[in-house]
Amino acid sequence: MAEQHKDSIRVALAGQPNVGKSTVFNLLTGLSQHVGNWPGKTVEQKAGTCEFDSLTFDLVDLPGTYSLSANSPEELIAREYIIREKPDVVVAIVNAATLERSLYLVAELLPLGVPLVIGLNMIDVAEQQGLSIETHVLEAALGVPVVPMVATKGRGVRELLTRIQDIACDGAGYQPNPPDIRADHKQVLQRIEELIDSYTPQEYPPTWVALKVLEGDEQITQMMRPRVPQGTWKEIAGIIGQHEDACVAVASGRYSWIARMVRAAVVKPKVGPITLTDRLDRWATHPLWGLVILVAILALTFALTYALGSPLQKLMDRYIIGGLASLATRFLGGAPAWLLSLVVDGAIHGVGTVLTFFPILLIFFAVLGILEDVGYMARAAYVMDRFMHLMGLHGKSFLPLFLGFGCNVPAVLGSRVVESPRARLLTILVAPLVPCTARMAVIAFLAPVFFRAPTLISWGLLTLNLGVLVLAGLLLHKVILRGERVAFIMELPLYHLPNWHTIAIGVWQRLVSFLEKAGTIILGVSLVTWTLSQFPGGTLETSWMAALGHWLEPIGSLMGLDWRMMVALLSSLIAKENAVATLGVLFGQTKSEASIAVALRAAVAPSAALAFLVMQMLFIPCVATVSAIKQETNTWRWPAFAVLFLLIVSLAAGLATYRLAMLFALS
Amino acid sequence: MLFELLEMLRSGGTHTLKDMARQLDVSEMLVQSMIHELVHLGYLKLAAQSCPGSCEGCPTASCCAIGLEGRLWTLTEVGRRALQSQDP
């Protein structure tokens, strides 16, 4: 371009939304603005003039767009204007604080062949963020003038106009450095350019058109198709068909170019603006420490639950259950003995015992709610995911599995999000091994009954449970999945202060749901258990329940468990909390005044108790989960497999625990 | 750059934006833009989005113990095919 004299310069202002383009336009045009519509469109067009250095600048404000693909009318307007109207200069306003994002539009503007000037706006915001942009380096790397600006304060406007004038009047030094297509597609692009070159309308840059055809740009493809002879077009279509990933290669070239520019020109402080999230994540998402922290948090959660919940639970047991029982006894003084027994032994000892979980659950849900609300749970999922990586389960599977900590049913139902049928099946089959709150509540109730260090026992049980989950996953993975691997990208939210209102609502909803369950399914099972334990003979020892229990006793005796424990385990099939309700009914019937806890301690040795807890953690899923598995797999084969598999796993684990405990003389 | 990002997903596993940014020597912002581009091109898709924060109307509200914030993306069939075609 030779130096030329001009009276006016036509300038188009381009930029992404929120980069301060309108501020620059208003600053330059002031009262001379006129507003209309783009021809044939409902998109607003703003134009105006500006006098500077005895020159008139005719400015057109192009619609704000992120790129120049044919995704929206705004993008089409912007690129069509530049190509057809050929302004003397296009000014791209970019946000210095979000340079990487802003440069994408520049990467698309450069191949259009119109002289470009970059207004590097919001340079003050970038500086506040600790970013220092070396403008002259960026200018050299891009090959186009770069003007640092703070449009809101009017800074850089004169220099912008000077640079526009320079380039419009003498573009000799203008040598832009546009992005390149990825190296392995260069020849493909070249071939397409050769094929379309002579048919491309004069105003369109052939390389750009070839690029757009290769990218599959609808508008350009439609424009070129009727112009190119059929045979040639067939060849082009063939090339595109062979290079399905060409659109990625084109975009990839742009991103590599952006990364190069930013690396060259942006100086980040060595220490960097380390946020609280960065600092916490250094530990919380570390492969080893992340797991240690997760385990420690789980242990702390249990410790807190026991320290605060267990005394409350004991108080509830003594005053509410005891009080209710004596109240019922007094109230039903004249009633038949069976009715009194039904109310006291069946309902109060059954459901009442489960209801004493309330403080434990309250604390447990509250702690989980807080962890969730501050943003830790996403990290827990990420750390767990690395762990689950071992068994070929990733991201999408751990979401449903994490739901499983609440209840196994949504874990099974949630497995729908896993597309691969085999990965879905694996998720469904291991979901019942996720320790749900019902099972954890049973542990929370029973561990302090039998052991002096309930936190350690609970933590150990949970770890064992997760260990078995991984082992089972590994085993099933080998059989079902045969090496299929899935990849995920995860965005971790920022940590933030807890919102107590949200947490309270979450805890409340979960507790209400627990109370509903206690009032329906657990009450029902308690009454059935009572009925079976009273009939036909009127005593526990001669009841149907005892008959069933004695039938199970041979298995139980292997682990030092009497028939009542086996019946309790079996009753957890209906709902896991029933294990405690059943123990309440069966051990509440002892003649002594001792509480259920004392009766349990007297009847079950610690080694047997540990075996019981292990079995109850790993036992057959509850009926709701089994029916969910049936529903999701649409066959009885897999629920039957899950029941059998977990029966074997739990019995084997129970037996091993009992034998090991005996060996280490826990008794 | 986009192929490099896809390449990181070849071995499976879950990657955070931060990890990817570090490995590609770019900012998290650019990784985010690239993910959006790959979603737009049909190579990645959003697998899960953070729960909206309100339990009302959520089918798992009654028994959900843990919600998750943040987003999760995974490869689409096109993305997997592209990786296969890049096989050495």
The predicted-structure confidence for A158-194, as pLDDT tens digits, reads as follows 999 999 999 888 877 788 999 988 888 889 999 999 9
More confident residue, A6 or A600: A600
Q: B87 vs chain A: nearest CA distance in angstroms?
A: 13
Q: How far is CA A241 from CA A188, A215, B79, in A?
A: 12, 11, 16
Domain range for B22 is 2-52+64-85
pLDDT digits (tens, 9 = 90+) for A428-440: 888 888 888 788 8
More confident residue, A95 or B68: A95
Q: Which residue of A has its CA nearest to B42?
A: A248
Distance CA(A455)–CA(A654), nearest Å, equals 20
Element housing A252 (H / E): helix A246-265
Q: Is the pLDDT of residue A247 over 70?
A: yes
Q: A513 vs chain B: nearest CA distance in angstroms?
A: 6
Q: B59 vs chain A: nearest CA distance in angstroms?
A: 8
Q: Which residues of B touch A509 (CB under 8 A)?
A: 55, 61-62
Q: Is the pLDDT of residue B63 over 50?
A: no
B84 touches chain A (CB under 8 A): no
- DSSP β-bridge partners for residue A52: A55
φ, ψ of residue A51 to 5 degrees: the values are -100, 130
- Which of the four pLDDT bands, split at 50, 70 and 90, describes residue B87? low
Task: Select from B24, B64, B74 the Cβ nearest to the Cβ of A403.
Answer: B64
Distance CA(A124)–CA(A154), nearest Å, equals 12
Q: Which residue of B has its CA nearest to A217?
A: B41
Q: How far is CA B56 from CA A401, B52, B53, B59, in A?
A: 21, 10, 9, 9
Q: Coil, strand or helix: which one is A155?
A: strand
Give the model's pLDDT for residue A4.
60
- Which of the four pLDDT bands, split at 50, 70 and 90, describes residue B66? very low
- The CATH number that applies at residue B43 is 1.10.10.10
Give the model's pLDDT for residue A449.
85
Distance CA(A582)–CA(A548), nearest Å, equals 14
Give the model's pLDDT for residue A210.
93
Task: Select from B6, B25, B66 the Cβ nearest to the Cβ of A372.
Answer: B66
- Which of the four pLDDT bands, split at 50, 70 and 90, describes residue A5? low
pLDDT digits (tens, 9 = 90+) for A30-41: 877 788 777 777
More confident residue, A592 or A472: A472
Q: Is the pLDDT of residue A404 over 80?
A: no
The neighbour count for residue A319, using CB atoms within 10 Å, is 10
Task: Select from A255, A377, A406 the Cβ nearest to the Cβ of B30.
Answer: A255
Q: B47 vs chain A: nearest CA distance in angstroms?
A: 7
Q: Are A595 and A583 in contact (CB under 8 A)?
A: no
B59 found inside a domain: no
Q: Do B16 and A414 touch (CB under 8 A)?
A: no
B30 found inside a domain: yes
Q: Do A377 and B67 touch (CB under 8 A)?
A: yes
Q: Would you give the end-to-end CA distance of chain B in angstroms?
A: 18
Give the model's pLDDT for residue B65.
43
What mean pLDDT do residues A519-532 have?
Answer: 76
What mean pLDDT do residues A270-288 have?
Answer: 75
Give the model's pLDDT for residue A184.
83
Give the model's pLDDT for residue A593.
47
Half-sphere exposure of A12 (CA within 13 A, CB side): 23
Give the model's pLDDT for residue A121.
93
Q: Which residues of B touch A440 (CB under 8 A)?
A: none
Distance CA(A284)–CA(A296), nearest Å, equals 11
Task: Select from B13, B67, B74 the Cβ nearest to the Cβ of A389.
Answer: B13
Q: Which residue of A has its CA nearest to B20?
A: A489
Number of domains in chain B: 1
Written as one string, the DSSP assignment of chain B is -HHHHHHHTTT-EEEEHHHHHHHHTS-HHHHHHHHHHHHHTTSEEEEE----S--TT-TTTTT------S-EEEE-HHHHHHHHHT--
Give the model's pLDDT for residue A415.
76
Q: Is the pLDDT of residue B59 over 90?
A: no
Radius of gyration of chain B from its Cα atoms, rounded to whole angstroms: 15
Task: Select from A486, A492, A502 the Cβ nearest to the Cβ of B53.
Answer: A502
φ, ψ of residue A487 to 5 degrees: the values are -115, 145
Element housing A379 (H / E): helix A376-388
For the structural domain made of A8-169, what CATH number should be given? 3.40.50.300
Written as one string, the DSSP assignment of A355-370 is HTTHHHHHHHHHHHHH
Distance CA(A243)–CA(A257), nearest Å, equals 21
Q: Which residues of A touch B57 (CB under 8 A)?
A: none
Q: B76 vs chain A: nearest CA distance in angstroms?
A: 10
Q: Do A513 and B26 touch (CB under 8 A)?
A: no
Q: B61 vs chain A: nearest CA distance in angstroms?
A: 8
- Which of the four pLDDT bands, split at 50, 70 and 90, describes residue A667? very low
Q: Which range (A201-205, A386-390, A427-431) has the least confidence?
A: A386-390
Domain A183-267 has CATH 3.40.50.1000: no
What's the whole-number average pLDDT of chain A?
83
Q: Which residues of B touch A368 (CB under 8 A)?
A: 65-66
Q: Is the pLDDT of residue B52 over 50?
A: no
What mean pLDDT do residues A225-237 have?
Answer: 92
Q: Do B74 and A505 touch (CB under 8 A)?
A: no
B88 touches chain A (CB under 8 A): no
Give the model's pLDDT for residue A1.
46
Q: Do B55 and A509 touch (CB under 8 A)?
A: yes
Domain residue spans of chain A: 8-169, 183-267, 289-483+508-663
Question: Which of A65, A417, A489, A505 to mutate to test binding with chain B, by most B CBs within 10 Å of its CB?
Answer: A489
Q: How far is CA A658 from CA A454, A563, A603, A613, in A?
A: 18, 16, 16, 11
B57 found inside a domain: no
What mean pLDDT do residues A266-291 have?
Answer: 77
Distance CA(A357)–CA(A584), nearest Å, equals 13
Q: Do B16 and A251 touch (CB under 8 A)?
A: no
- Burial class from Cβ neighbours inside 10 Å (0-12, 13-18, 19+) for residue A501 reads exposed
B61 touches chain A (CB under 8 A): yes
B positions 3-42 inside 8 Å of A (CB) = 3, 6, 8-18, 20, 24-27, 29-30, 32-35, 37-38, 41
Q: B14 vs chain A: nearest CA distance in angstroms?
A: 5
Half-sphere exposure of B75 (CA within 13 A, CB side): 26
Q: Which residue of B has its CA nearest to A66?
A: B33
Q: Are A10 and A87 in contact (CB under 8 A)?
A: yes
Q: Which residues of B touch A245 (CB under 8 A)?
A: 3, 82, 85-86
Q: Which residues of A touch B80 (CB under 8 A)?
A: none
Q: Is the pTM of this model over 0.80?
A: no
Q: Is the pLDDT of residue A94 over 70?
A: yes
Give the model's pLDDT for residue A91.
95
Give the model's pLDDT for residue A484.
54
pLDDT digits (tens, 9 = 90+) for A144-155: 999 999 999 989
B58 found inside a domain: no
Give the model's pLDDT for residue B69.
56
